[in-house]
Amino acid sequence: MAPPPLPSAASAAAAAAHVRAALRRGSEAGGRYALATPREAGAHSTGQRAGLRPGRSLDFRDYRDYEPGDDLRQVDWNVYARTDKLAVKLYQEEVCPHADIVLDTSRSMALAESAKCAAAAGLAAMLATAAANARFTVAVWIGLGERLVRLPGDAARPESWLPPAFDGRLPLPEWLRLEPPAFKRRGVRFLISDLLWPGEPEEVLGRLDDGAAATHVLHLLGAADVAPPDQGFIRVVDAETDEELDLFLDATARERYAAALHTHTAAWSEACRKAHVTLVRVVAEEFAAAWSLDWLLPYGIVEGA
């Protein structure tokens, strides 16, 4: 069952309880999935899982003939002494896959009468649980003040996390620009955000994808973001900057809004395509009605546990 949308006049305590319920629900629902491991994830490190390639663990994998250019230090001199042939030892790769989940906690994610913040928190919890099922280590990043920081308690199960407050006044690019977070290299990175800020996607994608094995952008929009429910004269107020704009919303205006949103999302899609980043779009209310990650299965991001 979908959680009720966050009431507009809810207190901070009520909002925290609302997010905590979403985390609990996400943690339960995420148990059905396991995060897929990209080929590069966690390579060049020791870990709990066997990787797909030859690597540097203690588990012997195979011999192969020496080829010019091979590192002489990898030559097995005992084999050379016995057979007079140069052979190189190959070991099984061990990986310690890691997932970084960047959760956009700006105020635009906690609009009144929208399930965005509950869906974002629940989605992060589901991904963290799916990652734990696949024996990933997990770090959850949220915006706090002018910095992107680790969510307290993110190593524990999601229901134990300190519920993040969706009250950031800066857009996500500012958080990434002012103090770039120390993402673990060769990890899998997720960005859960509505992506609703002006500017070039390449800047955000460049910082997010730098050194990652795979990056996935989960574009979470509220139903009101996709199709404004109002008709007539309205005063729209920016949730983060409190800027206001008065306008009359009719069918033409709604078409123009849809076209503007389409242009914006097309720019993101194009930038993600160029950066080899997966972008998946989901409407918060639809997600919160199903509590399922089946929509990520075709992209190979998650698998059934």
Q: What token pair was written down for 191?
A: 């960005």
Q: What token pair was written down for 78?
A: 């005992």
Binding residues for another protein (CB under 8 A):
8, 44-46, 55-58, 71-74, 76-78, 91, 94, 108-109, 111-112, 179-180, 182, 194, 196-198, 200, 202, 206, 210, 222, 224-225, 228, 230-241, 243, 245-250, 252-253, 256-257, 260-261, 263-264, 266-267, 270, 274
Q: How far is the CB of 246 from another protein (least distance, A)?
A: 6
Q: How far is the CB of 251 from another protein (least distance, A)?
A: 8
Phi (first) and psi of residue 253, to 5 degrees: -65, -40
Question: In this complex, which beta carbon is closest to another protein, that of residue 221 or of residue 293?
Answer: 221
Question: In this complex, which beta carbon is closest to another protein, that of residue 232 or of residue 304?
Answer: 232
β-strand pairing of 33-35 with 302-304: antiparallel
- Mapped to the 3 state alphabet, what secondary structure does 13-76 carry? HHHHHHHHHHHHHHHHHHCCEEECCCCCCCCCCCCCEEEEEEEEEEEEEEEEECCCCCCHHHEC
Q: How far is the CB of 87 from another protein (least distance, A)?
A: 13
How is residue 99 annotated by DSSP? E
How is residue 159 annotated by DSSP? G
Question: In this complex, which beta carbon is closest to another protein, that of residue 69 or of residue 298?
Answer: 69
Question: In this complex, which beta carbon is closest to another protein, that of residue 270 or of residue 294?
Answer: 270
Question: In this complex, which beta carbon is closest to another protein, that of residue 159 or of residue 181?
Answer: 181
Q: How far is the CB of 131 from another protein (least distance, A)?
A: 21
- Mapped to the 3 state alphabet, what secondary structure does 263-291 carry? HHHHHHHHHHHHCCCEEEEEEHHHHHHHC
Q: How far is the CB of 5 from another protein (least distance, A)?
A: 13
Question: In this complex, which beta carbon is closest to another protein, that of residue 253 or of residue 289?
Answer: 253
d(CA 172, CA 174): 5
Q: How far is the CB of 34 from another protein (least distance, A)?
A: 24
